[in-house]
Amino acid sequence: MANCASCGKMIESGGIRLGDRLFCDGTCLDKARMVEGAMPTSGRGVANSARQIHSGPCPICQGPGPVDVHDTYWVWSAVVFTRWGTRQQVSCRRCALKSQVGGIAQSAVLGWWGFPWGLVLTPVQIVRNVIAIFTPPRPDEPSARLRAIARDHQGGEE
């Protein structure tokens, strides 16, 4: 079984194949073609879009850039249940720091309460946040991750 490349619905049988992608029906195929036709797909367009995002205002605080992709790591636990993950955020460095310090605080308070994974993953996620704080993306150019987001947003190829 596969998922529709447009809507994500599970395709149990059949579907419409276009290249290496599978769609659940003609409507989803038409939507995908329409989106692809409306988006600029040149590598130059993607690079320009990434530079605009990078040098533009922060989407969170509207403050000055540079804007890039930052990760915040978190964990929370309840007795035998532990949940953890990474939040990806496109923002300025100041907003990223607030989020990462918040991730440390959240993990430190809520992460320890699960056995055994809470005890194992809490220090891991705290250390990952500390590393992210001290190794931000380069401020002089958009990161590869920001370029990938700009490409995905435009539906093109770099």
Is 52 a member of any domain? no
Is residue 143 in a domain? no
What is the reported pTM?
0.68
pLDDT above 80 (res 97): yes
Mean pLDDT of 136-144: 91
Q: Is residue 82 part of a domain?
A: yes
The fraction of the chain above a pLDDT of 90, given in percent, is 53
pLDDT at 148: 85
Domain count, the chain: 2
User: Range of 123's domain?
Assistant: 60-134
Better-scored residue on pLDDT, 20 or 106: 106
What is the chain's alpha carbon radius of gyration, rounded to the nearest angstrom?
20
- Both 24 and 75 in one domain: the answer is no
pLDDT of residue 158: 43
The pLDDT score that the predictor gives to residue 1 is 60
Indicate whether 46 belongs to any domain. no
CA–CA gap between residue 101 and residue 72 (Å, rounded):
8
Residue type, 125: Q
For 132, what's the count of Cα atoms within 13 Å in the CB-facing half-sphere?
29
Q: What per-residue confidence (pLDDT) applies to 47? A: 81
Please, what is the average pLDDT of the chain? 84
Whether residue 56 is predicted with pLDDT greater than 80 in this model: the reply is yes
pLDDT tier at 48 (50, 70, 90 boundaries)?
Answer: confident
Q: Is it true that the peptide bond before 116 is cis, omega within 30 degrees of 0?
A: yes
Label residue 152 by pLDDT band (50, 70, 90). confident
Are 28 and 64 found together in one domain?
no
Same domain, 86 and 32: no
Evaluate whether residue 114 is within a structural domain: yes
